[in-house]
Amino acid sequence: MIDRAILEAFFEECEDLLVALNEGLTDMCNGQADDETVNAVFRAVHSIKGAAGAFALEDLVGFAHKFETVLDELRAHRLAADDNLLRVLQRAGDILADLVDAARDELPANRDQVDPVIAELQTFLGKEAEPEEEFVFEALSLAFDPPETNRRFKVTFRPDHAFYATGNDPTLILAALEKIGTCTTTVQTDALPDRFSDFSWTEGYLLWQVEIEDLLDDFAIRDIFQFVDDLCDLKIEEVLDETGTDLPAPDEQGPDPLDATDEATGLAAEGPVLDVVDSEAQSLAKTEKSSKRTASTLRVDPERVDRLINAVGELIINQSVISQRIAEAALPNSAELFGDLDDYKLLAREIQEGVMAIRAQPVKPLFQRMLRIAREAADATGKSVDLITEGEATEVDKIVVERLADPLTHMIRNAIDHGIEKPQVRAEAGKPTTGTLRLTASQRSGSIVIEIIDDGAGLNRPRIREIAIKKGLIRSDDHLSDQEIDNLLFAPGFSTADAITNLSGRGVGMDVVKTAITALGGRVTINTVPGEGTTFSITLPLTLAVMDGMIISVAGQTMVVPIASILETIRPVEADLSKLGLNNTLLRVRGEYVPIIDLADRLGTASSKSLLTDRVLLLLQTETVAQCALAVDEIHDQRQVVVKSMQGNYGEIFGISGATILGDGKIALIIDPDAISSTKPKTQTAPFHSKKEEAYVTSS
């Protein structure tokens, strides 16, 4: 019974190995098929096979074996890394990943996909009848001996120098023999040299004879000599009569001459020499390159890290409480205290960053997976696409890496399916026939930005508009800005494909992508230039537990608005405000009009300041209505806040994403800008509706 945790660890390791495998294959495709790269690829497959065997994952082992055999041929330079081979190897890498997934989900392998690749691999190995090394350890005895339990065996062995040189010890063998039956042991010392100076510590001078009684058969004896039967002139004979006839004299020549030849010729003549040389001379040169793959890591239970993160969150809050207390205490000019406080802040910040870094992971494995997605999508659509990844070392929270996989997959598929044109269309447009898709990650001022940039046709806005009207998402007389039209892609139930392809269709749209990213506290924006391509930018907070917030007040309440959503803050002047209808006001920002949303009104209360010009407007970037200006009473501060979820206690509260504790110990609610800006100000009911009710309101 295998421990589930070990199996989990195996799959985790498979992930790493598959990344290394893909990396190596990619290097090879880029013409870097040097020995070390091929070796690394080989090792990855080999390790998966080895470990999979421990869990009896037969499909995985079988496939990995075939894969590995081809790689071994490549490694031995019996195959050349030509385009055809590389293509098959990449395919094999994909299948291997599939098989790992299938094994993890305890699903059977998809033979329809696996078998053709096995067949393709086989073409590089020549004839089907590959001599499988069936190495039988214990041959079953088919002799019809009556099952006697009191058989006697005589074991004679004379350990030679190799016996001692390979870490074996005759006394341990004797001890083992004594455990299986009653032993009578004698030692012949005839071969001992006369003079002490003639002794060699590696020589075997002693001949041991052991008679063992009460045995069923000689299997147990052979078992004990399992590793040394070729190193000690072993003889095992059954003693049939009680007389104990004299032993045949052991081979007096001894094995020494033979071994000497072995040593003299071994290095020059044998194939394995390569490896011997390999391990010593080249290993130093390789160390640098290989070490990045085997950097030693510490595995920690994520729960412990979470506890630590929580504690650090409290520390940050505590630090702001202390700062505030000290400020309020109006202490006499105590420069030292303030200096100490600054140190404390710095340390707290440092600890916080350190703790966050524990959870941080490079996006590399995630990006590597996308290479495959892109390849498959390109194959399925008959397009030619190069996926270029950049900034793979960028680190983000582990959860973010995990939860980004699906949205990214979807977006990559979308970009290839809808963005990049077919080769002939590209040729006609004067573009290279191979499209380029760039997947980049970078850290920009406290956020992680992931971009998917294609050089395709760009969004077809008239078509998007048409579809949105057809699907009832907008009315035909609605006036929408370009950006608003682009954002329709994220509207639930929108799909630009005329026929839903099985590639990016799947009945879900970009709205799922948006939801997933919003759930991570991030946002997606689109930037498209017709004919030149489209860029999807995902902006994510560096960490999930702490965020930069703007402390504001509205109707006497202190609240927090995530800085990530705020483009700028504006003190409005009368001239920039214009009325629209009875209740709506627009703000003019650099020639564009954006709707003003009264936060107090949205929360079902009234602002303490009646005039808009007395208030502050936060220009927000949201997914729902492009931009809007959120009117608040005052802004106070900008600081890091520790996000505490309220869902556990209060359920989902519409418009509020969580709460935080401020320096003065008071609790402030954190506004969800997207939700707040999306609701229509129709009723002044309870302060917060539940999300369900709200969904009902908007869809009705």
Partner 1 sequence: MTTHILAIDDSRTIRTLLTATLENAGFKVTTAVDGVEGVAKFQQSNADLVITDVNMPNKDGFGVIEDIRNGDVNRAVPVLVLTTESGADLKERARKAGATGWIVKPFDDASLVSVIKRLTGAV
Backbone φ, ψ for residue 22 (5° rounding): -60, -40
How far apart (Å, rounded) are the C-alpha atoms in residues 542 and 544?
A: 7
Length of the chain (residues):
700
How far apart (Å, rounded) are the C-alpha atoms in residues 463 and 467?
A: 6
> Whose Cβ is closer to partner 1: residue 24's or residue 655's?
24
CB of 258 to partner 1, least distance (A): 13
Tell the burial category of 257 from Cβ atoms under 10 Å away from its Cβ (0-12, 13-18, 19+). Answer: exposed
CB of 135 to partner 1, least distance (A): 4
How far apart (Å, rounded) are the C-alpha atoms in residues 688 and 654?
A: 6
> Whose Cβ is closer to partner 1: residue 167's or residue 382's?
167
> Whose Cβ is closer to partner 1: residue 179's or residue 682's?
179
CB of 139 to partner 1, least distance (A): 14
CB of 26 to partner 1, least distance (A): 18
> Whose Cβ is closer to partner 1: residue 227's or residue 696's?
227
Starting at the earlier edge strand, list the strands of the sheet with 656-661: 634-642, 546-554, 557-562, 667-671, 656-661
What is the CB neighbour count within 10 angstroms for residue 49? 20
CB of 50 to partner 1, least distance (A): 5
User: Which spans in 130-195 are helix H?
Assistant: 161-165, 170-180
End-to-end Cα spacing for the chain: 56
CB of 272 to partner 1, least distance (A): 4
> Whose Cβ is closer to partner 1: residue 179's or residue 475's?
179
- Both tokens of 529, joined, read 């230039």
Residues of this chain that bind partner 1 (CB under 8 A): 3, 6, 9-10, 12-13, 16, 39-40, 42-43, 46-47, 49-51, 53-56, 133, 135, 137, 162, 164-169, 171-173, 175-176, 224, 226-227, 230, 262, 266, 270-272, 275-276, 278-280, 283, 286-287, 290-291, 293-294, 296
> Whose Cβ is closer to partner 1: residue 275's or residue 614's?
275
How far apart (Å, rounded) are the C-alpha atoms in residues 542 and 562?
A: 13
> Whose Cβ is closer to partner 1: residue 49's or residue 369's?
49
**What is the distance, to the nearest Å, from the Cα of residue 82 to the centroid of all Cα atoms in its chain?**
30
DSSP string, 574-624: GGGEEEETTTEEEEEETTEEEEEEEHHHHTTS--S---GGGSEEEEEE-SS
> Whose Cβ is closer to partner 1: residue 169's or residue 386's?
169
> Whose Cβ is closer to partner 1: residue 227's or residue 650's?
227
Angle at 467 between CA 464 and CA 468, to 5 degrees: 85
CB of 511 to partner 1, least distance (A): 39
CB of 486 to partner 1, least distance (A): 45
> Whose Cβ is closer to partner 1: residue 158's or residue 413's?
158
Query: Which amino acid is present at 656?
Result: I
SS3 state at 434:
coil
CB of 247 to partner 1, least distance (A): 25
> Whose Cβ is closer to partner 1: residue 286's or residue 422's?
286
CB of 220 to partner 1, least distance (A): 11
**Cβ pair 644, 661 in contact under 8 A:** yes
> Whose Cβ is closer to partner 1: residue 226's or residue 333's?
226
CB of 40 to partner 1, least distance (A): 7
How far apart (Å, rounded) are the C-alpha atoms in residues 365 and 394?
A: 11
How far apart (Å, rounded) are the C-alpha atoms in residues 411 and 644?
A: 31
CB of 239 to partner 1, least distance (A): 24
Q: How many CA atoms lie within 13 A of 332 on its CB side?
A: 0
Tell me the β-bridge partners of 585.
579
- The enclosing H or E element of 212 equals strand 207-215
**Cβ pair 537, 524 in contact under 8 A:** yes
Angle between helices 35-54 and 283-291 (to 10 degrees): 70
- Both tokens of 618, joined, read 């936060």
Q: 221: Cβ–Cβ under 8 A, 6 or more apart, which residues?
A: 153, 155, 177, 180, 212, 215, 236
> Whose Cβ is closer to partner 1: residue 286's or residue 461's?
286
Query: Which amino acid is present at 105?
Result: D
CB of 53 to partner 1, least distance (A): 4
CB of 362 to partner 1, least distance (A): 18
CB of 294 to partner 1, least distance (A): 5
Backbone φ, ψ for residue 379 (5° rounding): -60, -45
> Whose Cβ is closer to partner 1: residue 7's or residue 341's?
7
**What is the distance, to the nearest Å, from the Cα of residue 332 to the centroid of all Cα atoms in its chain?**
54
- Both tokens of 357, joined, read 């870094």
Alpha carbon separation from 652 to 491, 560, 645, 660, 694 (Å, rounded): 21, 17, 10, 16, 12
> Whose Cβ is closer to partner 1: residue 71's or residue 371's?
71
> Whose Cβ is closer to partner 1: residue 200's or residue 424's?
200
The closest of 437, 438, 355 to 391, measured between CA atoms, is 438
CB of 198 to partner 1, least distance (A): 21
